[in-house]
Amino acid sequence: MAYDDSNVFARILRGELPCIKVFEDDHTLAFLDIMPQSDGHTLVLPKEPAVTLLDLSPEGATACILTTRRVAAAVQRAVGAPGLLISQFNGEAAGQTVPHVHFHIIPRFPGLKLKAHGRERGDPDRLDQIAARITGELASAR
Ligand code: 5GP
């Protein structure tokens, strides 16, 4: 699928728009979802331009899943979630709204329903506090 480099994640990757970053390496970037479905909702994306998982190189896909696994463990500890939903949408028909491939890490808590997808902005102070806990967990896991 043709990649449009004006999408919001491409702009974040180029540093043109801000994000609440929790992890970065040579191939991937992870930051908090600005409209979290639960506390700790984090996105992991490759730096490689690709719309869907099927457009991504095997190396990019490998880097993404390794970062997702590493960041998910830190998210889980940071928010004390007993479960994690990890999801990934390919194409508008599947619910993808930003055309740069990404993985969602969404903490789940018993009896707590998820907020709607991409609807309500998170409280900025709360997002910063959660990000600090996640980066703290990542630092202590090294
Ligand atoms: P998709 O529907 O493409 O799987 O998910 C896109 C996600 O990106 C949504 O959960 C939405 O809340 C999030 N999102 C959209 N725009 C921004 C943004 O500018 N910054 C951040 N951090 N997240 C965004």
Q: Domain holding 60: CATH number?
A: 3.30.428.10
Cα angle 84, 71, 103 (rounded to 5 degrees) comes to: 65
Q: Note whether residue 3 is domain-resident.
A: no
Average pLDDT, the chain: 97
* Alpha-carbon gap, residue 67 to 31, rounded angstroms: 12
Domain that holds residue 102: 8-140
Across 87-109, average pLDDT: 97
Distance of CA 37 to the CA centre of its chain: 12
Q: Note whether residue 106 is domain-resident.
A: yes
- Quick one: which atom of ligand 1 is closest to the CA of 17? 19
Residue with the larger pLDDT of the pair 53 and 141: 53
Among 17, 12, 20, residue whose Cα is nearest residue 135? 20
- For ligand 1, is residue 53 a contact (CB within 6 Å)? no
Element (H, E) at 103: strand 103-108
Counting the structural domains of the chain, the total is 1
Q: Note whether residue 16 is domain-resident.
A: yes
Q: Note whether residue 1 is domain-resident.
A: no
* Alpha-carbon gap, residue 2 to 21, rounded angstroms: 27
* Alpha-carbon gap, residue 138 to 134, rounded angstroms: 6
pTM, 2 dp: 0.97
Q: What is the pLDDT, as a whole number, of residue 136? A: 98
104 is catalytic: no
Across 120-140, average pLDDT: 97
Q: What is the pLDDT, as a whole number, of residue 42? A: 98
Across 41-46, average pLDDT: 98
- For ligand 1, is residue 131 a contact (CB within 6 Å)? no
- For ligand 1, is residue 8 a contact (CB within 6 Å)? yes
Q: What is the pLDDT, as a whole number, of residue 6? A: 97
Q: What is the pLDDT, as a whole number, of residue 1? A: 75
Percentage, residues of the chain above pLDDT 70: 100
* Alpha-carbon gap, residue 108 to 111, rounded angstroms: 9
Tokens of 26: 């040579």
Confidence of residue 46 (pLDDT cuts 50, 70, 90): very high
Say how many Å lie between the CA of residue 120 and the centre of ligand 1.
11
Tokens of 90: 């390919």
* Alpha-carbon gap, residue 49 to 102, rounded angstroms: 11
Tokens of 5: 């480099």
Across 70-94, average pLDDT: 98
Catalytic residue of the set 41, 100, 102, 104: 102
Q: Note whether residue 39 is domain-resident.
A: yes
Q: Which residue has the tokens 């980066």?
A: 135
